[in-house]
Structure 1
């Protein structure tokens, strides 16, 4: 809760803030922002501002990959997106995005277009993200001094779902939850997870755009919370070979115009519409994997030893397939998309899942048979593996006419350009493991 609420005062109405942190999504799904006064916001931003279009032409390290011209373009404030800013009194976050030519290359706008398609077809959806992440006893300086190697983890004695570790670290976890609540990010669950330094959060289910926004603000607030305490939160899919693969799963359900869950059929069953939704996602996944897995590191997680799927498969309740159909309890059947890692771009991954599923329903695409809930140490026999790296995934996306039809050719072309640039940026990087393997033997 907010400081005001704890003092018995009403919480801040974010629209009445004295200061606005106006965020714009970049093409990697990060948040870039300008901090401005209320007067500037009302006179120069809310009524129609501008921002440099290089935002969709640079990478996560601020290296430019896209062609000139680099110039100002119109942006528009999303009046539904205000939320309190948890790190400054009388301040608010609000989302703005391009409304000119670069609107076509906005990942958030891709999701908005899929939501509009669903509404036109008579559907509404609910979604929620789950995140696993690691916390280290390192600040910005020590991370760089150590070269991101040999980091000291938080909670070295933690085991998965450990009661003792949860009790020991309860004050810190409670403080994080209160900070998230101040940012209007509600958690359905928050606690210790996969061993030393690992935590997990399940966010509340809500409409798709709000769910993706919540996910982005969750990560931003969590990173800031720990850095303010001389610690660091890491949402990499695989931070090193010995670390667990970290997920960013999506929980998803969809209702028809009468408010009925379209996935509902019965215990251990998925409805016809549900099967077609799954069929569309799995058919398109090999071509469009770069959308829900957009970083080089995301593919490190898709390796033996992790419960990360490497084939276009689904199961009834299993935890190692691309889609997990949860059919019980009957009142709330849902699909869990298990491809995304903790480094997911929430807008883009949810865009893919919703858009591909709608395409599957429209074209009555039957999925392959569900697979048994076995381990995932190797790709299941008889199934085509998914792309093994970002470069291959980007090439597959570039060749997908279906993806261009569903998500927009302008967006797909720009996104492919960005992913190929991202893959090439790390091609020359030489890891410690590679040096130890070849330094003397080659």
Structure 2
């Protein structure tokens, strides 16, 4: 391990190491150490196990004993960090009692399951984000209300916006690429300040790492420019709902061939069994990909997000979009997850559910006819109404416990219940306007 780690640092001329892991809320919790001190720490690496039991507000929701737990450093995760000269980031995961509760390990278990079945996993994420013309101080001074828009005149795919703000977009792209993220493209999307970042496909665990580091890089760059990059799924009627779509294909582990490809260019039998598994499991474990209170507002009528669990070839309005090809580009796209999804758990959900469909030889339901985003096809399963219902479904699901582990599903359901409770009594300005004088 030490030899591999030293070689990885040498390859990038690393003198400073940001070592940490992405928690349940996708926040990178790290220590910053100089190279010599990092290698010394790596002889017996430990980190606070509270990461498995707290939320994005650093509030505990579970656990009973809090201490510095052992961590396993992943030398393959070392990547550049452009925040300072000679810096790298490396992932070190809790490896003791809390190991099975952490998102990256939940995904790794499904990738290992796929490998045992003879499959390699290739995946990629696509995120929309909203840039605001506010920094951390001004947003708080305004009480997070009436926030100034960046590019308020933007229209979807607007060349004028792209050219006007080319320097800002190019700077964000450089920051993302500086973290060795496999970025395919970054451009403008629908609504004020809306950008879309598309990642190139890569090996499954690395794909989730790329997604997590992309969001960290985008947020950091915006802050350096006196702005805010937000992945909040729904900011209000003046903004679009924003998503975090996940694409996946299975490869023959021996040959690398795309196993979703088909000579006739149609969704093949293996892909259909994968889809069938998603149809069966996603409604039960939906919290794994949609785990904030706000994310459920994006599923309200009037947004582009699918409203029920459907699939079809090509339409953008279904939950699982099949993109069949005779060549290597055949893939499935999970279009439901919000922009703030945990990429490890989202990919684990998609992969674990799909593999379950293959193992049980489940038949896919008929493809859904193309329709409006608000259309709910006859017989299609609706998603949970809110995070509390999603948490209850996850905790009650024997299938989720079987696939993802009972300890994880119990702990993550508790995290989701706590997240829901944190805003259960919150009252918005819109509610006061509607009911105050009624």
Q: TM-score normalised to the size of structure 1? A: 0.94
User: Which residue in 2 is equivalent to 1:439?
Assistant: 436
- The 3 A distance-change label for structure 1 pair 120 and 155 is same
Structure 1 unaligned blocks of 5 or more: 1-11
Larger CA deviation: 57-66 vs 250-259: 250-259
1:80 aligned residue: 76
d(CA) in 2 for partners of 1:371 and 1:267?
Answer: 20
Answer yes or no: is 1:173 the counterpart of 2:169: yes
Deviation at 1:418, TM superposition (A): 0.6
Equivalent position of 1:27 in the other structure: 24
Q: Which residue of 2 aligns with 1:219?
A: 215
1:422 is matched with which residue? 419
1:291 to 288, 291, 310: 288
Structure 1 residues 419-428 or 373-382, which shifts more?
373-382
Residues in 1 aligned to 2:192 and 2:198: alpha-carbon distance in whole angstroms: 19
Determine the structure 1 residue equivalent to 2:125.
129
SS at match of 1:375: coil
| Residue matched to 1:158 | 154
- Correspondence for 1:258: 255
Question: 1:393 Cα shift?
Answer: 0.5
- Does 1:308 pair with 2:323? no
Distance 1:379 1:64, change over 3 A: same
Answer yes or no: is the 8 Å Cα contact 2:296–2:385 preserved in 1: yes
| TM superposition shift of 1:68 | 2.1
What SS class does the counterpart of residue 428 from structure 1 fall into? coil
Deviation for aligned residue 1:65: 1.1
Task: Supply the distance in 2 between the matched residues of 1:287 and 1:192 (Cα, whole angstroms).
Answer: 34
Alpha-carbon contact 2:152-2:193 (below 8 Å) kept:
yes
| Cα distance, 1:392–1:296 mapped onto 2, change above 3 Å | same
Aligned counterpart, 1:200: 196
Task: Write the distance in 2 (CA, Å) between the matches of 1:126 and 1:13.
Answer: 28
SS of residue in 2 equivalent to 1:269: coil
1:385 to 382, 386, 389: 382
Q: Over residues 93-147 of structure 1, what are the superposed CA-to-partner deviations in whole Å (9 max), with x where a residue is unaligned?
A: 1101111111010110000111101111000011111010000110001101111
Partner of 2:59: 63
In structure 2, how many angstroms separate the alpha carbons of the residues matched to 1:115 and 1:67? 27
* Counterpart secondary structure, 2:298: coil
- Cα shift at 1:15: 5.0
- Pairs within 5 Å for 1:47-58: 47-58=43-54
Residue in 2 aligned with 1:188? 184
Please report how far the alpha carbon of residue 244 of structure 1 lies from its aligned counterpart in structure 2 after TM superposition: 0.3
Number of the residue aligned with 1:339: 336
Question: Can you list the C-alpha shifts for 1:190-220, whole angstroms capped at 9, x where unaligned?
Answer: 1111122000010111001101000111000
- 1:258 CA displacement: 3.2
Q: Secondary structure at the match of 1:221?
A: helix
- CA distance in structure 2 between the partners assigned to 1:66 and 1:33 by the alignment: 21
Query: CA shift at 1:378, angstroms?
Result: 3.9
**Partners of 1:94 and 1:433 in 2: how far apart?**
43
Structure 2 unaligned runs (5+)? Answer: 1-8
Give 2:392's match in structure 1, choosing from 388, 391, 395.
395
Structure 1's consecutive aligned runs of 4 or more residues displaced over 3 angstroms after TM superposition are 12-16, 328-331
Pairwise CA distance, 1:408? 0.7
Out of 359, 364, 369, the position equivalent to 1:367 is 364
What CA distance in whole angstroms lies between the structure 2 residues aligned with 1:138 and 1:329? Answer: 47
Q: 1:138: which partner in 2?
A: 134
How far apart are 1:60 and its partner, in Å? 0.7
Contact 1:286/1:386, CA 8 A, preserved across alignment: yes
Q: Determine which of 107, 129, 140 is the counterpart of 1:111.
A: 107
Moved more, 144-153 or 216-225: 144-153
Q: CA RMSD in A?
A: 1.4
Give the C-alpha shift of residue 13 in structure 1.
5.4
In structure 2, what is the Cα distance between the partners aligned to 1:381 and 1:406?
Answer: 28
Flag the 1:329–1:429 CA change in 2: closer, same or farther, 3 A: farther
22-31 vs 407-416, which moves further: 22-31
